């Protein structure tokens, strides 16, 4: 039985990378954990992109306008896929497509431009900030567009890693925040230990094989 989206481990090191990891891309039929608007709302609450009050606002807006709910879900998925293509192109051994990444950057810019057009300036004590998500029906896509912009502009993209699929990893993306910059697995407790255990079993089998 597949995990619920709220049971996914947050291994990305940034909400935008955890968004990218809400789909399992391995195998013939990738599994999307963002199955509907409800799943997106639960995930966004879990990751801290929206408050409980904002979830209520979005829920009411989407209930009153089903077309807006479909558009919001489609926008979130579009941002996720575009960001995945961009980040994949920054990873040396991930076989990313620079042309696809360029088109994805254009798509992300369009999504962010729309989010910025709906944002407003807010004065918080000693500073002014741009508050995204002022339109309930588009609050989630706008916050996610903001997160995508933040990771692209503020994070060190040379530290983006992919859990190594060819070595038995899951393919999730994460920011390597280790001091040495040599982190290989999304989580050592998951993929890392599974692969190590499988390799140990294979070595033991080989050692017991006749003629070895």
CATH number for the domain spanning 185: value is: 1.10.3300.10
Asked if pLDDT for residue 197 goes beyond 70, the answer is: no
- pLDDT score of 165: 82
Mode of pairing for the β-strands spanning 160-162 and 173-175: antiparallel
For residue 188, what are its two tokens? Answer: 């050592």
Average pLDDT over residues 196-208: 49
Asked if pLDDT for residue 159 goes beyond 70, the answer is: yes
- pLDDT score of 112: 97
Cβ-proximal residues to 191 (8 Å cutoff; 6+ apart), any chain = 163, 168, 169, 170, 185
Q: How far, rounded to the nearest angstrom, does the alpha carbon of residue 141 sit from its chain's CA centroid?
A: 13
Asked if pLDDT for residue 96 goes beyond 70, the answer is: yes
- pLDDT score of 92: 78
Asked if pLDDT for residue 97 goes beyond 50, the answer is: yes
What rounded mean pLDDT belongs to the chain? 88
| Greater pLDDT, 123 or 30 | 123
- pLDDT score of 201: 45
Cβ-proximal residues to 122 (8 Å cutoff; 6+ apart), any chain = 128, 129, 130, 131
Are 141 and 62 within 8 A, CB to CB?
Answer: no
Please give the Cα distance from 17 to 22 (Å, whole number). Answer: 9
User: What is the domain extent for residue 192?
Assistant: 5-208
Average pLDDT over residues 32-48: 94
Average pLDDT over residues 153-175: 90
- pLDDT score of 24: 87
Average pLDDT over residues 180-206: 64
Cα 158 to Cα 28, 128, 154, 168, 174: the distances in Å are 29, 31, 12, 23, 11
φ/ψ of residue 87, rounded to 5: -70, -35
- pLDDT score of 12: 94
Q: Which of 33-37, 61-65, 194-198 has the lowest mean pLDDT?
A: 194-198
Average pLDDT over residues 81-110: 92
pTM, two decimal places = 0.86
Average pLDDT over residues 89-118: 93
Number of folded domains that form the chain = 1
């Amino acid at each position: 039985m597949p995990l619920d989206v709220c049971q996914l481990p947050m291994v990305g090191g940034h909400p935008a990378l955890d968004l990218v990891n809400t789909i399992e891309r391995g195998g013939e039929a990738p599994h999307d954990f963002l199955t509907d608007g409800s799943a997106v709302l639960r995930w966004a609450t879990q990751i801290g992109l929206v408050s409980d009050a904002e979830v209520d606002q979005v829920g009411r807006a989407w209930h009153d306008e089903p077309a807006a709910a479909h558009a919001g879900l489609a926008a979130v998925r579009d941002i996720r896929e575009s960001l995945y293509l961009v980040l994949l192109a920054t990873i040396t051994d991930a076989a990313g497509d620079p042309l696809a990444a360029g088109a994805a950057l254009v798509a992300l810019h369009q999504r962010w431009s729309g989010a910025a057009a709906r944002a407003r300036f807010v004065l918080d004590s000693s500073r002014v900030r741009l508050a995204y998500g002022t339109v309930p029906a588009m609050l989630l896509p706008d916050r996610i567009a903001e997160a995508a912009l933040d990771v692209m502009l503020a994070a060190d993209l040379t530290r983006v890693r992919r859990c190594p699929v060819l070595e038995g990893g899951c393919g999730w993306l994460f920011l390597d925040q280790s001091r040495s910059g040599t982190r290989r697995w999304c989580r050592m407790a998951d993929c890392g230990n599974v692969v190590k255990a499988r390799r140990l079993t294979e070595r033991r089998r080989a050692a017991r094989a006749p003629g070895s």
